[in-house]
């Protein structure tokens, strides 16, 4: 699981940074990637990255402000021209389907793959044998959601010595045990998976929050997360401004990470007033004073999700 930032600025793009979009690469887990938000210019950013639209499986939109979704119609259309034929599902707040349908219809864009749009009001919005995704409403000027992506625990490794003791050779029986199924040997003995498997590998949790003031649901979504991605639009000396515009400061993001027991924090969604890395360093220093394992999102930089 890797995080790749395609846009880190708030409101409008600048010469230094694009507007919001975050990719979660799941190449080892399912050979796909998921996208969280799709601000204007996201597809251009993808062209400059190692990411491929043909690998895109899901898009999660946090809210319907332009800096988080103006790039969506163009990206959906371009995917059809870049080898994307597999189904794609877009999740987001009420109104998202109308926006997508109208944009594609009026521009006469042709989509040659199955496109599903799922409007939700939070809760469990996706689950399969590998992952589940939960959403909860945050505190912003419009309905804005955070997403909690949970990787399910993986079975432990087969103990070769124990397998040899039971006389089990590599083959279909290995697969059954790895899937958690009991097997019966030729002599009638029943072997349970727990007898031959090591300790399960704990799945990781990634929380990606939309625009928000500090709120209870941000804490709940981030509880125990290996990695939390939180907006940090302003330094804390502009806390009143942040509150007025329903945003957070870097200090508040760090406090949320600390209170939630998160493993690491990456801050993003920076105000255009912070133009260079020296100014952004002030946000980082502020956050680290509360939560030492804080980082700044950087565009076109790959962040590994910690175990």
Binding-site residue set for Zn(2+): 63, 65, 67-68, 140, 211, 269
* Known binding positions: 63, 65, 67-68, 140, 211, 269
DSSP string spanning 120-185? --SEEEEE-SSEEEEEEE--SSS--EEEEEEEPPBPPPB-HHHHHHTTPPSSHHHHHHHTT--EE-
Q: Are 18 and 70 in contact (CB under 8 A)?
A: no
Q: Pick the catalytic residue: 37, 67, 101, 237? A: 67
Instruction: For residue 2, indicate whether it is catalytic.
Output: no
Distance set, CA 95 to CA 61, 118, 120, 142, 210 (Å): 11, 10, 10, 12, 17
Tokens of 255: 């406090």
Q: What angle do CA 146, 276, 11 make, to 5 degrees?
A: 40
* Residues tagged active-site: 67
């Amino acid at each position: 699981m890797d995080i790749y930032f395609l846009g880190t600025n708030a409101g409008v793009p600048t010469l230094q940074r694009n507007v919001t979009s975050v990719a979660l690469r799941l190449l080892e887990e399912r050979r796909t990637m998921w996208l969280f938000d799709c601000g204007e210019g996201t597809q251009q950013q993808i062209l400059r990255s190692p990411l491929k639209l043909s690998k895109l499986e899901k898009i999660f939109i946090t809210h319907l402000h332009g800096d988080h979704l103006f790039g969506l119609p163009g990206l959906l259309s371009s995917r059809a021209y870049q080898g994307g034929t597999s189904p794609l599902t877009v999740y987001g707040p009420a109104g998202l389907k109308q926006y997508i349908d109208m944009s594609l219809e009026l521009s006469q864009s042709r989509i040659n793959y199955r496109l599903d749009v799922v409007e939700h009001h939070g809760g469990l919005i996706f689950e399969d044998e590998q992952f589940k995704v939960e959403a909860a409403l945050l505190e912003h000027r419009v309905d804005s959601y955070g997403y909690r992506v949970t990787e399910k625990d993986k079975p432990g490794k087969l103990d070769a010595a124990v397998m040899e003791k039971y006389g089990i050779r590599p083959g279909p029986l290995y697969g059954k045990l790895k899937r958690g199924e009991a097997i019966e040997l030729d002599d009638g003995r029943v072997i349970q998976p727990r007898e031959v498997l090591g300790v399960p590998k704990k799945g990781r949790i990634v929380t990606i929050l939309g625009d928000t003031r500090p709120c209870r649901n941000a804490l709940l979504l981030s509880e125990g997360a290996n990695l939390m991605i939180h907006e940090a639009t302003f330094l804390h000396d502009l806390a009143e401004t942040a509150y007025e515009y329903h945003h957070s400061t870097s200090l508040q993001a760090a406090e949320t990470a600390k209170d939630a027991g998160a493993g690491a924090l990456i801050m993003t969604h920076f105000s255009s007033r912070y133009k260079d890395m020296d100014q952004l360093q002030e946000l980082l220093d502020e956050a680290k004073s509360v939560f030492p394992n804080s980082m700044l999102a950087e565009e076109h930089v790959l962040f590994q999700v910690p175990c």
